[in-house]
Amino acid sequence: MNDEMEEIIQEFITEAEESLDRIEPRFVELEQKGQDTNLINDIFRSMHTIKGAAGFLGFQLIVDVAHAAENIMKKLRDNEISLSKSLMDVILESIDMLRLLLIHIKEKDGVEENVAPLVQELGKALKAAMSNLNNKEQAGISVKPDIRAEQSSKASKESESISPESASEKPLNKVNVAESAKVTENAQETSKSSQITQIAEELSQIPEIAKTTINDSIKNSESTQAATDGEQKPNEMIQAAKDNVQKAQNLRVDVNRIDKVMDLAGEVVLVRNRLLNISNYFDMKYTDDQMTEILMEAVSFLDRITSDMQIAVMKMRMQPIQKVLSKFPRLVRDISASVNKDVELQIFGEGTEVDKTVIEHIGDPMTHILRNSIDHAIEPAEERIAKGKPSKGKIVINTYQRGTQIVVEITDDGKGMDLNKLKKKAIEKGLLTEEEAQKMSDKDAIDIIFMPGFSTKEVATELSGRGVGMDVVKTNISLLNGYVEVSTEKDVGTTFKISIPLTLAIIQALMVEVNGVKYAIPLSPIEETLKVSKKDINNITGQNVIVIRDNICPLFDLSSILGFGSNGNNDDLDFKYLIVISMGDRRFCIAVDKLVGQEEVVIKTLNGMDTTSSFVLGATITGDGKVVFILDVTGMSRNLMELTRA
């Protein structure tokens, strides 16, 4: 296979996967809304595009599945059958199959799935739905009395419908012959609007032809519209085609290339930091030299440009969070069906843009939370009715940006957490002692769910409840340098609030020094820094604390956190610098020897090292070429808080 072909296939896979990602939530929407023509058309178009491109590239299995699914969509669109759950199940199954087939193509593993049973099932489902409708009609219930009339009117329009078809076929030469044959074949049985659907769709696949052809087809469709007056669809279709032309201005770039640019931009930042150091040195040494001034000027210019470039590169990696959210409607549908609950999912703020890394890592924790909410929190319908709630459970995902953080809130209207029950379970499992539980605040009690090896359900279900889920949530999110807060109210519901920094590649950090070694602390969780005298530090039962504006705040020495022990002569210092960290609603102080300053640092990942106990989330290289660790405050917070509790 040559490179060009390879590229086309790659393009096809990406596009097909994107289409599937896009239409999957639409199915669920369709199921809720019932026969929505716009939705059906959209799905139909996407299916058709996939089928067309797969046919062109010779992926027959995809063609078979997509064709069978498309047939059902067509009948749905023409109101010849109505939507049912079994029909939806089999269509969703076909989406899964298409995904699987795409994966096989991508992996080039040569595995051939047997699609025949599925295609048969699709056919059967269609037939069942058809006969269902016929029965109804014969029984006189007649859901759509005008269907037959409509069909005959369509038939009468067939002759006219040839003209727009042939008029816009010329620019379609690029589309393979088999495909246009299919178009004509379809033309025999479908209405005019669907033809225009297809034409517009094909046009949108060929960005090179650009607007002129689209305009042609607009003219065509306008004339057709005049002829078939009252038909709204063509306009919408053309709008869709126009949208697609707009989209063509986007450039699809291999993610590796962007990452490469990102890396290089990071290197430039490092060199800039070095240059700043050097120029400061010259500035101090040769203050009167004119060249020094010129050097300073050039360096500060470079400084500005570099910052701008960083932001620009960072933006290149930003994507709407919708990419992750779009899989949830289906997930919620499937999970709630499997536990016999009726749950509605509402999503807000799917346009919020976040870094690619966030997109990649936030899906799993969110899935865990959703599963837990459906499985544990949302009550069965009878119970809900008894409590005076609507029988249908509701989960809301809300995403928004707050400062430099992205916030994802997952709220359910379930039974809420029973804190006493949580405590009791934790004691039973030996995760807590009776005494600890007594002293525990409500906030800490909620956090029990994040303890490794904890699960409240008596019987572990297939979905959740093996007691690993929530622990994983916390770990995954702290990997992203973020944190989770939970609030819950009995019989009203529970909210999980995930806060994550917008980007992970470059962060603002406070440089500190302990025992002569520099460390970087991410700026976002830092509330304030203080210089305190030693006598301000109190010791309560072995734990150092300090009173800040009437609030008692636990205090930890950074050098002992990092396991380097306390350096003797540091204890002689009269003053300590404290960094007040606030994670969600927890506060603690870290004591350091020196505050060096604020710096923009590039996070370098540490490969080949187990850093789970190091409280290090990465490293950076400073202006003088030294490696400085970036401290993982989230991990520290968790560990330290456990210490104080114990």
Partner 1 sequence: MGNTMVSEQVLQLVTFTLEKEEYAVNILNVQEINRITEITRVPNAPDYVEGVINLRGKVIPVINLRKKFGLYNKDTDDSSRVIIMDIHGVTYGLVVDSVSEVLRIPADIVEPPPPMASSMSSMFIKGIAKLENRLIILIDIDGLMGGA
Contact stretch for partner 1 (CB under 8 A) within 194-202, 337-345, 557-565, 586-594: 557-565
The whole-angstrom separation of Cα 606 and Cα 321 is 27
Kindly state whether residue 613 participates in binding partner 1, applying the rule CB under 8 A: yes
Binding partner 1 by CB under 8 A: which of 87, 592, 615, 637?
Answer: 615
Q: Which is nearer to partner 1, 480 or 601 (CB)?
A: 601
Is residue 564 within the footprint of partner 1 (CB under 8 A)? yes
Q: Which is nearer to partner 1, 472 or 561 (CB)?
A: 561
Residue 601 C-beta: closest distance to partner 1, Å:
12
Q: Which two tokens stand for residue 578?
A: 């404290």
Smallest gap from Cβ 269 to partner 1, in A, equals 11
Give Cα separations from 391 to 29, 335, 385, 412, 487 (angstroms).
Answer: 19, 17, 6, 13, 23
Question: Residue 600 half-sphere exposure, CB side, CA atoms within 13 Å?
Answer: 21
Q: What DSSP line would sit under 399-421, residue for residue?
A: EEEETTEEEEEEEE-S----HHH
**Residue 491 or 600 with smaller CB distance to partner 1:** 600
629 makes contact with partner 1 (CB under 8 A): yes
Closest approach of partner 1 to the CB of residue 266, in Å: 8
Residues 135, 140, 146, 151, Cα dihedral to 10°: 30
The smaller minimum CB distance to partner 1, of residues 347 and 628, is found at 628
User: Which one of 100-108, 119-127, 498-506, 614-622 is the stretch in contact with partner 1 (CB under 8 A)?
Assistant: 614-622
625 sits near partner 1 (criterion: CB under 8 A): yes
Q: What is the dihedral of CA 201, 203, 205, 210, to 10 degrees?
A: -140
Q: DSSP assignment of 310-358, as one string? A: HHHHHHHTEEETHHHHTTHHHHHHHHHHHTT--EEEEEE-TT-EEEHHH
By beta-carbon proximity to partner 1, the closer residue of 212 and 613 is 613
Among 517, 523, 532, 641, binds partner 1 (CB under 8 A): 517
Site for partner 1 in 404-463 (CB under 8 A): none
- Shortest separation between residue 587's beta carbon and partner 1, angstroms: 22
Total residues contacting partner 1 (rule CB under 8 A)? 27
570 binds partner 1 (CB under 8 A): no
Residues belonging to the active site: 48, 70, 372
Minimum Å distance from CB 302 to partner 1? 18
Contact between 516 and partner 1 (CB under 8 A)? Answer: no
Q: Which one of 245-253, 263-271, 284-292, 584-592 is the stretch in contact with partner 1 (CB under 8 A)?
A: 263-271
Which residue's CB is nearer to partner 1, number 235 or number 611? Answer: 611
Name the segment binding partner 1 (CB under 8 A); options: 60-68, 252-260, 417-425, 562-570.
Answer: 562-570
Convert 159-186 into a string of H (helix), E (strand) and C (coil): HHHHHHHHHCCHHHHHCCHHHHHHHHHH
3-state DSSP of 360-398: HHHHHHHHHHHHHHHHHHCCCHHHHHHCCCCCCEEEEEE
Instruction: Indicate which single residue of 321, 628, 633, 640 sits in contact with partner 1 (rule: CB under 8 A).
Output: 628
Rounded-to-integer distance, Cα 424 and Cα 432, Å = 9
Region from 195-203, 232-240, 488-496, 623-631 binding partner 1, contact rule CB under 8 A: 623-631
When the beta carbons of 93 and 259 are compared against partner 1, the nearer one is: 259
Cβ at position 561, least distance to partner 1 in Å: 8
Q: How far is the CB of 84 from partner 1 (least distance, A)?
A: 51
CB burial of residue 605 (10 Å; 0-12, 13-18, 19+)? exposed
Kindly state the helix (H) or strand (E) to which residue 529 belongs, with its residue range: strand 526-533
DSSP one-letter string for 588-640: EEEEESEEEEEEEEE-B---S---TTTTEEEEEE-TTS-EEEEE-HHHHHHHH
Per-residue burial over 499-529, b if 16 or more Cβ lie within 10 Å, else e, is bbbbbbbbbebbbbebeeebbbbbbbbbeeb
**Member of 110, 140, 516, 563 binding partner 1 (CB under 8 A):** 563
- What is the C-alpha separation between 117 and 93, in angstroms, rounded? 11
- Which residues between 583 and 612 bind partner 1 (CB under 8 A)? 604-611
Q: Which of helix, strand or coil describes residue 13? A: helix
Q: Which of residues 265-304 bind partner 1 (CB under 8 A)?
A: 266-267, 270
Indicate the residue type of 90. V
Q: How far is the CB of 207 from partner 1 (least distance, A)?
A: 37
Tokens of 65: 């599945």
Query: Taking CB under 8 A as the rule, does residue 562 contact partner 1?
Result: yes
Counting contacts by CB under 8 A, is residue 614 touching partner 1?
A: yes
Q: HSE on the CB side for 15, CA within 13 Å?
A: 22
Distance CA 569, CA 290 (A): 44
* Region from 70-78, 262-270, 301-309, 547-555 binding partner 1, contact rule CB under 8 A: 262-270
Distance CA 238, CA 236 (A): 5
Q: State the nearest-atom distance from the C-beta of 270 to partner 1, in Å.
A: 7
CB of 563 to partner 1, least distance (A): 4
Footprint of partner 1 on this chain (CB under 8 A)? 266-267, 270, 517, 561-564, 604-611, 613-616, 619, 621, 625-629
